[in-house]
Structure 1
Amino acid sequence: MINKQEIMEEAKKHNLPPNTIEKDYVLNWLLAGIGEAKPLQANWVFKGGTCLKKCYFESYRFSEDLDFTVTNIAHRNPDYLKTVFVDIADWVYEQVGLEFPADEISFESYNNPRGKLSIQGKLAYKGPMQRKGNNPTIKLDLSWDELLVESPVRKSIYQPYSDANFNFQVQTYCIEEIFAEKLRALVERMRPRDLYDIIHLFNDSRWSPDRERVLAALKQKCAFKAVEVPTLALVNAMPGKSDLMADWENMLAHQISELGSPGYYWEKLPIVFNWLYNP
Structure 2
Amino acid sequence: MREFIEETAKTLNVEKHLLEKDILLHQILLDLSKTKICEEFTFKGGSCLIKHYLNYFRFSEDLDFTFIDQGLFKGASQKRIRQMLSKKIQEIGNALEDIAKKRNLDFKFEKHNKRYIEIGSSNKTATFKLWYISIDNMNFFIKLQINFVEKILFPIKKARIRSLAIESKELKFLFPNLYKEYTTKVMFNVYDIREILCEKIRAILTRRGIKERDFIDVYLVSKKFKIDPDALRSEIITKTRFALFLYRKYRQNLDEKTKLLSVDMFPFGSEEPLLLMKIEKSEFYSFLVKFMTFLEKIMKML
> How far does the alpha carbon of each residue in 1:159-199 deviate from its partner, in whole angstroms, 9 at most, with x for none?
33252262421111111111111222222234322111111
What residue ranges of structure 2 are gaps of 5+ in the alignment? 70-80, 110-114, 166-171, 173-178, 246-253, 298-302
Q: Secondary structure at the match of 2:118?
A: strand
Alignment of 1:67-86 (within 5 A): 67-71=64-68, 74-76=84-86, 78-86=89-97
Counterpart CA distance in 2 for 1:226 and 1:110 is 15
The 3 A distance-change label for structure 1 pair 211 and 239 is closer
Within the candidate set 202, 210, 230, 2:222 is matched to: 202
Structure 2 letter corresponding to 1:110:
G
Counterpart CA distance in 1 for 2:180 and 2:132 is 21
TM-score scaled by length of structure 1: 0.73
The 3 A distance-change label for structure 1 pair 245 and 170 is farther
Alignment of 1:1-40 (within 5 A): 3-10=4-11, 12=13, 16-38=14-36, 40=37
Is the CA contact (8 Å cut-off) linking 2:63 and 2:143 kept in structure 1? Answer: yes
Counterpart CA distance in 1 for 2:105 and 2:192 is 30
Counterpart CA distance in 1 for 2:275 and 2:116 is 29
Residue 203 of structure 1, CA deviation: 1.6
What residue ranges of structure 1 are gaps of 5+ in the alignment? 228-233
Counterpart CA distance in 1 for 2:244 and 2:127 is 23
Percent identity of the aligned residues? 24
2:284 corresponds in structure 1 to: 265
2:248 corresponds in structure 1 to: none
Residue 223 of structure 1, CA deviation: 3.5
Q: Secondary structure at the match of 1:37?
A: coil
Is the CA contact (8 Å cut-off) linking 2:157 and 2:191 kept in structure 1? Answer: yes
The count of corresponding residues between Structure 1 and Structure 2 is 251
1:185 corresponds in structure 2 to: 203
Quote the RMSD (CA, aligned, Å). Answer: 3.8
Within the candidate set 110, 114, 135, 2:120 is matched to: 110
Rg larger in 1 or in 2?
2
Alignment of 1:118-197 (within 5 A): 118-125=125-132, 129=135, 131-132=136-137, 134-161=138-165, 163-164=179-180, 166-189=184-207, 190-197=210-217
The 3 A distance-change label for structure 1 pair 249 and 273 is closer
Counterpart CA distance in 1 for 2:264 and 2:95 is 36
Residue 71 of structure 1, CA deviation: 4.2
Residue 85 of structure 1, CA deviation: 0.8
Is the CA contact (8 Å cut-off) linking 1:68 and 1:141 kept in structure 2? Answer: yes
